[in-house]
Amino acid sequence: MKRAAVRAAVHRFISRLLEDQEDFDDDASLVELGLEKADIEDLIFHLEDELGLTAFTAEEDQMLRNARTANDLSRFLLAIARH
């Protein structure tokens, strides 16, 4: 799985949640962008589905605790793609 494709998917889904705000930095805080924990959880599940990935519950829980930026989400998805 290519990093550029994962990044594009992450940006696309975040933009939808932000009502099509496409101009945000990969290192911008998800909370500062206006996303809540439930939004981030939904985002993770949608991205896993779109990319055909499956994470263990413990991995998803860890990601929910640690996801701060779009870049964090991309790294998480790339890591579970290696399974």
User: Is 3-81 a CATH 1.10.1200.10 domain?
Assistant: yes
pLDDT tens for the chain, 83 residues: list them: 799 999 999 999 999 888 867 678 999 999 999 999 899 989 989 999 999 998 888 988 888 889 999 999 999 999 988 87
41-65 residues labelled b (16+ CB within 10 A) or e (exposed): bebbeebbeebebebeeeebeebee
What does the domain layout of the chain look like in residue ranges? 3-81
